[in-house]
Chains A and B, each alone.
Chain A
Amino acid sequence: MRPFSALTALCGLFLSTSSFVCADSTSSSSPVALPSDFKPAQVFKNTNLVRNTNLEKSYLRETINVVVENVAKQAQSDYYLALPSHLYDKVGVLEVRDKSAPEKSRLNVQATEIDPSRDLQYYIVHFSEPLPPSSQITLGISYSVLNSFSPRPAAIKQMDRQYLTYSFSAYAPSAYTTVTQKTKLKLPSTNVPEYTTTDLKSGADPERLGTSYTYGPYDTAQVAPGTSYPIVVRYEFTKPVITASLLERDLEVSHWGGNLATEERYWLRNNGSELLDHFSRVEWTLSSYQQLPSSSIRELKYPLKPGSVDPYFIDDIGNVSTSRYRPGKVPSRDASLELRPRFPIFGGWNYSFRVGWNNDLSTFLRRAVGSSDSYVLKVPFIEGPKASEGIQYEKVVVRVILPEGARNVRWEMLEKASSNGLPSSSQIQTDVSEHKTFMDTLGRTALSLTVNGLTDEARDSQIVVTYDYSLWDGLRKPVTITAGLFTVFVAAWAVGNLDVSIKKR
Chain B
Amino acid sequence: MAESPLNVLLKGNTGRNTRGLLRIIILGTIAAAAVSSRLFSVIRFESIIHEFDPWFNFRATKYLVQHGFYSFWDWFDDRTWHPLGRVTGGTLYPGLMVTSGVIYHILRFLTIPVDIRNICVLLAPGFSGLTALAMYFLTCEMSTSPSAGLLAAAFMGIVPGYISRSVAGSYDNEAIAIFLLVFTFFLWIKAVKNGSIMWGALTALFYGYMVSAWGGYVFITNLIPLHVFVLLCMGRYSSRIYISYTTWYALGTLASMQIPFVGFLPIRNSDHMSALGIFGLLQLVAFADFVRGFIPGKHFQRLLTTMIIVVFGAAFVGLVVLTVSGVIAPWSGRFYSLWDTGYAKIHIPIIASVSEHQPTAWPAFFFDLNFLIWLFPAGVYMCFRDLKDEHVFVIIYSVLASYFAGVMVRLMLTLTPIVCVAAALALSTILDTYVLASPGPNPKAKAVEDTSSEPLRSARKPDVGVTSYLSKLVVTSSAIIYLLLFVAHCTWVTSNAYSSPSVVLASRMPDGSQHIIDDYREAYYWLRQNTPHNAKVMSWWDYGYQIGGMADRPTLVDNNTWNNTHIATVGKAMSSREEVSYPILRQHDVDYVLVVFGGLLGYSGDDINKFLWMVRIAEGIWPDEVKERDFFTARGEYRVDDQATPTMRNSLMYKMSYYNYHTMFQGGQAVDRVRGAKLPAEGPQLSTLEEAFTSENWIIRIYKVKDLDNLNRDHSNAVAFDRGHKRKRATKKKGPRVLRTE
A-side residues, CB < 8 A to B, are 277-282, 285, 315-322, 342-343, 348-352, 436-440
Contact check, A316 vs B528: say whether CB atoms are below 8 A apart.
yes
The smallest beta-carbon distance between A280 and chain B, in angstroms, is 7
Interface string of B682-717 (1 = CB under 8 A from A): 000000001111111010000010000000000000
Closest to B528 in A: A316
The smallest beta-carbon distance between A464 and chain B, in angstroms, is 28
Give every chain A residue within 8 A of B634 (Cβ-Cβ): none
12 more contacts with CB within 8 A, not counting A315-B525, A318-B47, A319-B46, are: A278-B690, A278-B704, A279-B693, A282-B663, A317-B521, A317-B528, A318-B46, A342-B526, A343-B522, A343-B525, A343-B526, A351-B529
List 24 A-B pairs, Cβ < 8 Å.
A278-B690, A278-B692, A278-B693, A279-B692, A279-B694, A280-B694, A281-B694, A281-B696, A282-B663, A282-B664, A285-B664, A315-B525, A317-B521, A317-B525, A318-B47, A318-B48, A320-B518, A321-B504, A321-B516, A342-B521, A343-B526, A348-B530, A437-B111, A439-B110
Q: Which of A282, A322, A342, A352 touches B660 (beta carbons < 8 Å)?
A: A282
Closest to B692 in A: A278
With A281-B698, A282-B664, A342-B518 in contact, do A438 and B112 touch (Cβ < 8 Å)?
yes
Contact check, B111 vs A436: say whether CB atoms are below 8 A apart.
yes
Interface of A: prevailing SS: loop
Give every chain A residue within 8 A of B521 (Cβ-Cβ): 317-318, 342
Q: A316 CA to B524 CA in the complex, in Å?
A: 11
Q: A423 CA to B668 CA in the complex, in Å?
A: 59
Closest to B694 in A: A281
Determine whether B510 belongs to the interface, using a CB cutoff of 8 Å to chain A.
no
Closest to A322 in B: B518
Q: A279 CA to B693 CA in the complex, in Å?
A: 6
Contact check, B46 vs A280: say whether CB atoms are below 8 A apart.
no
Contact check, B525 vs A321: say whether CB atoms are below 8 A apart.
no
Closest to B113 in A: A437
Give every chain B residue within 8 A of A285 (Cβ-Cβ): 664
Q: A279 CA to B691 CA in the complex, in Å?
A: 7
Give every chain B residue within 8 A of A322 (Cβ-Cβ): 518
Give every chain B residue within 8 A of A343 (Cβ-Cβ): 522, 525-526, 693, 695
Give every chain A residue within 8 A of B113 (Cβ-Cβ): 437-438
Determine whether B550 belongs to the interface, using a CB cutoff of 8 Å to chain A.
yes
Contact check, A439 vs B111: say whether CB atoms are below 8 A apart.
yes
Q: A318 CA to B41 CA in the complex, in Å?
A: 14
Contact check, B524 vs A352: say whether CB atoms are below 8 A apart.
no
Q: A505 CA to B528 CA in the complex, in Å?
A: 68
Contact check, B525 vs A316: say whether CB atoms are below 8 A apart.
yes
Q: A315 CA to B526 CA in the complex, in Å?
A: 12
Q: A351 CA to B529 CA in the complex, in Å?
A: 6
Give every chain B residue within 8 A of A321 (Cβ-Cβ): 504, 516, 518
Q: A409 CA to B46 CA in the complex, in Å?
A: 38
10 interchain residue pairs of minimum CB distance: A281-B694, A321-B516, A342-B522, A319-B46, A350-B529, A278-B692, A317-B550, A437-B113, A349-B530, A282-B663
Q: A281 CA to B693 CA in the complex, in Å?
A: 7
Q: Which of A316, A348, A440 touches B111 (beta carbons < 8 Å)?
A: A440
The smallest beta-carbon distance between B615 and chain A, in angstroms, is 28
The smallest beta-carbon distance between B220 and chain A, in angstroms, is 29
The smallest beta-carbon distance between A315 and chain B, in angstroms, is 6
Interface string of B18-60 (1 = CB under 8 A from A): 0000000000000000000000000001111000000000000
The smallest beta-carbon distance between B707 and chain A, in angstroms, is 14
Q: A125 CA to B690 CA in the complex, in Å?
A: 56
Closest to A353 in B: B525
Q: A191 CA to B408 CA in the complex, in Å?
A: 68
Give every chain A residue within 8 A of B529 (Cβ-Cβ): 349-352
Chain B, range 98-134, C-beta contacts under 8 Å to A: 110-113
With A278-B690, A319-B46, A349-B530 in contact, do A439 and B525 touch (Cβ < 8 Å)?
no
Closest to B110 in A: A439
Q: A110 CA to B80 CA in the complex, in Å?
A: 52
Contact check, B48 vs A278: say whether CB atoms are below 8 A apart.
no
Give every chain A residue within 8 A of B696 (Cβ-Cβ): 281
Q: A349 CA to B526 CA in the complex, in Å?
A: 9
Give every chain B residue within 8 A of A438 (Cβ-Cβ): 111-113
Q: A277 CA to B522 CA in the complex, in Å?
A: 20
Give every chain A residue within 8 A of B111 (Cβ-Cβ): 436-440
Chain B, range 528-559, C-beta contacts under 8 Å to A: 528-530, 550
Q: A317 CA to B115 CA in the complex, in Å?
A: 13
Q: A438 CA to B111 CA in the complex, in Å?
A: 5
